[in-house]
Homo-oligomer: A and B are copies of this chain.
Amino acid sequence: MVSSFADIIRPTPVVDELRARANIAGMAAKARRLGLELRPHFKTHQSVAIGTWFRDEGVRAITVSSLGMAAYFAADGWDDITVAFPYNPREAALAGDLAGRVRLGLLVDGDEGLRAAAALGAPARVWIKIDTGYGRAGVSWKQPEASLALAEGLRRSATLEFAGILTHNGATYQAKDRQSLLISHAKSLARMRDVAALIGDCPISLGDTPACVLAEDFEGASEIRPGNFVFFDLMQRALGVCNDNQIALAMACPVVGVRSDHILLYGGAVHFSKDFVEVGDQRRYGCLSEEAFGPVDESSPLIGLSQGHGTVRAGEEAAKLKVGGLAWIYPAHSCLSADLHSAYRSRNGACIPKWDGGR
């Protein structure tokens, strides 16, 4: 097994295909059981190769976070794509092009966005983004009349189709425990139903990995859009959303220094991102596993990141590492870690290409 990693010479994101496929199959089965369309968010993996694993589970419609990412997946034959990001009028040329080629979903949360989408002059499905309390983007659930006005504008449009209302309840990521997470989800969903009732029966789209994994009540919802679940990570583990055996992305990092209190890795902020899980006063950017994809070793967290350096506390497993070896680190936030790379390595050694991020 170890020999297939001998040619890893730099910090490298490695995917466990069996785990990822199991994660996908589990979510697809749950969506079928609950009568929900699964429209997974592909911003997590950003890979047409991994996209085929979703196709194998019957997924035909996807979510992305930018028009550039939509174009990347459209080129691979995906033809039902929601860009779950407030419509950016500066990308009208690309949006118009895509709307002519695929079933394109866009988001608006105000008059400017609606006017800009209408100015496309191309067919697009438009979702009204609702803020159910997270406070980032969307029309506030407290102002359903504003959503009603947008819906009426959409229903009058000659080119745009009113798709429904959509939310992302990121508040579940801040939940202290499973119960408060479920309460947050239920509250968000109830607010969506209230808005839908006012503006006339319409589809409801929602989706964050914590709620999609843990909740059972999706009454009134028509589709879910979780993304992170394909890989999971330490944040999801800390929330009780996954266990060690479900984390499907790990960073293989060359060990370049061994000290009494810590291990120094080639693997820094530019390979992991600086997102972290807080454990007490400690910021953990990742955590060492026993060998490749083994159990998490809580005693060996990744506690420091500079541009290229990573510092792992010399806990039980870390203390066994040697200069020239590889350390296997589960990242705090797999979406951001994956985004930093232009390809993955599979556990069997194969290269898994991904989008370059268009940056």
Contact = CB atoms under 8 A, between A and B. Distances in A.
Given A86-B256, A137-B309, A274 B336 contact: yes
Given A116-B324, A341-B359, A269 B275 contact: yes
A340 interface: yes
B335 A359 contact: no
A271 B358 CA distance: 11
Contacts of A271: 359
Chain copies in the assembled complex: 2
A78 interface: no
Interface string A172-205: 0000000000000000000000000000000000
B306 A112 contact: no
Contacts of A10: 66, 68, 88, 90-91, 358-359
B270 A357 contact: yes
A136 B309 contact: yes
Contacts of A105: none
Contacts of A264: 86, 136-137
A339 B339 CA distance: 13
B359 A270 contact: yes
Contacts of A91: 9-10, 254
Given A85-B309, A270-B339, 9 more contacts: A10-B66, A10-B88, A88-B256, A269-B275, A274-B274, A274-B336, A307-B339, A342-B356, A342-B359
